[in-house]
Amino acid sequence: MNDTSKSVTPTNFIRQIIESEIADGCHTDGIVTRFPPEPNGHLHIGHAKSMCLNFGLAEDFAGRCFLRFDDTNPDKESPEYVESIKTDVRWLGFNWEDRLTHASDYFPQLYDWAVELIENGKAFICSLSAEEIRASRGTLTEPGSESPFRIRPVAESLELFEKMRAGDFPDGSHVLRAKIDMTAPNIHMRDPTIYRIRHSTHHNTGNRWCIYPMYGFTHPLSDAIEGVTHSLCTLEFEDQRPFYNWVLDNVTISKRPRQIEFSRMSLNYSIMSKRLLTMLVDENRVSGWDDPRLPTLSGLRRRGYTPRAIRNFCTRIGVTKNEQQIEASVLENCVREDLDKNAPRAFAVMDPLKIVIENYPQGQVEQLEAHNHPNDPNMGSRQISFCREIYIDRQDFMEEAPKKFFRLAPGREVRLRYAYFITCTSVIHDSEGQISELRCSYDPESRGGQSPDGRKVKGTLHWVSVQHALDAEVRQYDRLFQDANPLADRSKDFLELINPDSKAVITSSKVEPGLINAGAGKSFQFERVGYFCVDPESTPSHLVFNRTVELRDSWGKKIVHEKT
């Protein structure tokens, strides 16, 4: 497992259930859980919560957790998504060992159980169209109506089901339905479909099957096959629990799992629907599934979020049955805390403003020692080059500065981090009146940032050497949506709420030369700027950094300001 230091694990109602069962003598062989994603898209932060819950419980209670691909819909699934999910699970720090399975691995057994239901009069082949079945289901206040094929003889249903498997019928011509109760208050119990015809190639089974079981039928039986003790689902499956139990009650199984529901997680300024995320990707509203603005794990990884931060986030938000609308700042604070402790420091200037230190010797270059982390001596130090011409960030200078502006201004003295005190002596403007260059003097006795006479300066600036700095492209990411809950107002198209300022690309940034060989995904704190990581597209000849998060939550301050 990845380096994820453990602290005391907060309890929750699921842990309490398991602890009570163990106290009563249950699960002597250990509990069994499963993480069952459908391979029809990339995992997102909501899946991380489920992953941490299922793998975490198995680890904490000396049990086992299966990574099971719920692959019953061949039209939307692909090997690409399978591999991306495996990558995400490993990256987050979990190991399925020899317990990687597919629902499709169980197709032969599922077929036999469907036959058992037919033989026992618990299922029938229905030849209504999908529209007719939908219309006959009734509503939440009105009962459904029975299919005319509900009384089809068992032998006829068995024969038709065998022919369905043999590929004798086109898509949509027949389905296998459970025979339960069309007047049941729970609409999921009104003779639900459990098999349908799909002449599609499956990513795992190829063309061996042309009938596919529905999730509601597959889910409990896959759990039973794997010996799952606790089948943990989000709350939208609560209404489907009676059918889950009905399936287990009406086929021959040796182990019976228990379904327990917990609340889904929603993250402000984002969406968690795979369908809508797919729309964003397919319509090129984002650059792909790993766009750093998306809540996908591949997007968060590319942005520089760490497995440790995400797991800490999942621990903090907890597991409840109450709706979870989580502030984005909670996740951002988790990654700030992690990177503050673990990310080495570096100098980068976003908007360079050139300074010429007029009394510094021409042609001279000094090597100054800079700490890689101010609070962790074990990270060591590095040498940075200092010379007569340097860049500072343009926002660190004001020509007409107010009294409480403690950065550089005409006649004011500041400290250059790890270097010298400098004083601005003159300002040079271009033909359009814009500041193009500053002239400064330095105090040669202040090397290292301290003056022998003990005078104090309030401002400390980061900088890079003009001679040695490297060009870099910096991609600054912000919230993808302008509205905290982009799906709250059904009358609005959520695409219209995309934040036009969610991505800004700076092509003129300068970084210290030691970053030239930083590998993809490597994180840094650019001092006084924020946390950044190396993008996979970065090369030594074209450095690219993604902003992970700012040093402070400036978005929260912005929202408060807009409301006042």
Contact predicate 473/543, CB 8 Å:
yes
Task: Given the residues 264, 321, 407, 447, select the one marked as catalytic.
Answer: 264
Question: Interior CA angle at 240 toward 238 and 244, to 5°?
Answer: 115
Q: Torsion angle of alpha carbons 349, 354, 356, 361, nearest 10°?
A: 50
Take residue 453 and report the two structure tokens written for it: 């006479």
Coil, strand or helix at 149: helix
Cα 531 off chain centre by: 18
Tell me if residue 323 is catalytic: no
- Closest-CA residue to 34 (of 299, 243, 227): 227
- Closest-CA residue to 310 (of 29, 47, 32): 47
Task: Given the residues 21, 38, 116, 550, select the one marked as catalytic.
Answer: 38
Contact predicate 279/494, CB 8 Å:
no
Single-letter residue type at 100: L
Q: 207-240: b or e for each residue (b if 16 or more CB lie within 10 Å)?
A: eebbbbbbbbbbbbbbbbbbbbbbbbbeeebeeb
- Closest-CA residue to 67 (of 226, 241, 240): 226
Take residue 523 and report the two structure tokens written for it: 């994180």
Task: Given the residues 122, 179, 274, 503, select the one marked as catalytic.
Answer: 274
Tell me if residue 264 is catalytic: yes
Rounded Cα distance between 203 and 222, Å, is: 18
**Side-chain half-sphere CA neighbours of 486 within 13 A:** 20
What's the order of all strands across the beta sheet hosting 211-213?
Answer: 123-126, 175-178, 193-197, 211-213
Contact predicate 396/464, CB 8 Å:
no
- Contacts of residues 92-96 at CB distance under 8 Å and 24 or more positions apart, as own/partner, are 92/2, 92/48, 92/51, 92/52, 92/297, 92/307, 92/310, 92/311, 93/1, 93/2, 93/4, 93/307, 93/311, 94/1, 94/35, 94/51, 94/55, 94/65, 95/1, 96/65, 96/66, 96/67
Tell me if residue 283 is catalytic: no
Distance (Å) of CA 356 to CA 389, 424, 433: 5, 10, 19
CB neighbour list of residue 517: distance below 8 Å, 6 or more residues apart: 540
| Rg (the chain; Cα; Å) | 31
- Residues belonging to the active site: 38, 264, 274
